[in-house]
A and B are shown apart, each in its own frame.
Chain A
């Protein structure tokens, strides 16, 4: 009986915790974003592995050759 009550208590606490976490997450989601006035946003925080760099190198060279008016 005591064991049963204890586990029920734990469940209650667990549920409250989940509600608190979800509430916090929902509040965090209400972030106002200002629209940028620049047409293209540039950032260099890109994640790229060396093997992808080498895989893309040939395609990049081809792209430059085939669109030399814009490069």
Chain B
């Protein structure tokens, strides 16, 4: 059996803790909050071309707080995830293209001209720069 000195043991423990956190975080964020899901399918909120959520109708304080909170988390995700050579806005925009493409029929999304549209079975109207 390999005997590890104290510093090596601590390093091993640190690696184990990091791995555990890395595993735990995605599962904690894995599902949408039921209130978020409900506001989406009710058409109160929708996906915007810039990669953030927007209000289709005047929000209740609870919905407004929830959306602001999600948008702050999105901004943090775009900021930490933007690859070298691209800006946060560019990464958010391309993610927004994907998010609008992923909307389900009945959900709202903002067209490039600023109108809120309801997703149907066809392809959504997206920015011409979307992939």
| Chain A interfacial positions (CB closer than 8 Å to B) | 39-40, 42-44, 46, 48, 50, 52-57, 59-61, 63-64, 66-71
How many B residues have CB within 8 A of the partner chain? 41
Total number of residue pairs linking A and B with CB closer than 8 Å: 93
Contacts A40-B72, A59-B94 supplied; 5 other A-B pairs, CB < 8 Å: A55-B85, A59-B91, A60-B94, A63-B95, A71-B99
Given contacts A68-B29, A69-B31, contact A59 B83 (CB under 8 A): yes
Q: Is the CB of B94 within 8 A of A57?
A: yes
Q: Is the CB of B83 within 8 A of A55?
A: yes
Question: Out of B70, B75, B95, B129, which one reaches A48, CB within 8 Å?
Answer: B129
Q: Is the CB of B70 within 8 A of A70?
A: yes
Cα-based distance from A42 to B71 in the complex (angstroms):
11
| Chain B interfacial positions (CB closer than 8 Å to A) | 26, 28-33, 48-50, 52, 54, 68, 70-75, 77-78, 81, 83, 85-87, 89-91, 93-95, 97-99, 102, 112, 127, 129-131
Given contacts A40-B75, A71-B74, contact A56 B90 (CB under 8 A): yes
Contacts of B71 in A (CB 8 A): 39-40
Given contacts A39-B72, A46-B93, A59-B91, contact A69 B98 (CB under 8 A): no
Cα-based distance from A36 to B83 in the complex (angstroms):
29
Cα-based distance from A60 to B129 in the complex (angstroms):
15
Contacts of A69 in B (CB 8 A): 28-33
Query: Can you offer 13 A-B residue contacts whose CB atoms are under 8 A?
Result: A39-B71, A40-B72, A42-B54, A48-B93, A53-B129, A55-B85, A56-B90, A56-B95, A59-B81, A60-B97, A60-B98, A66-B26, A68-B32
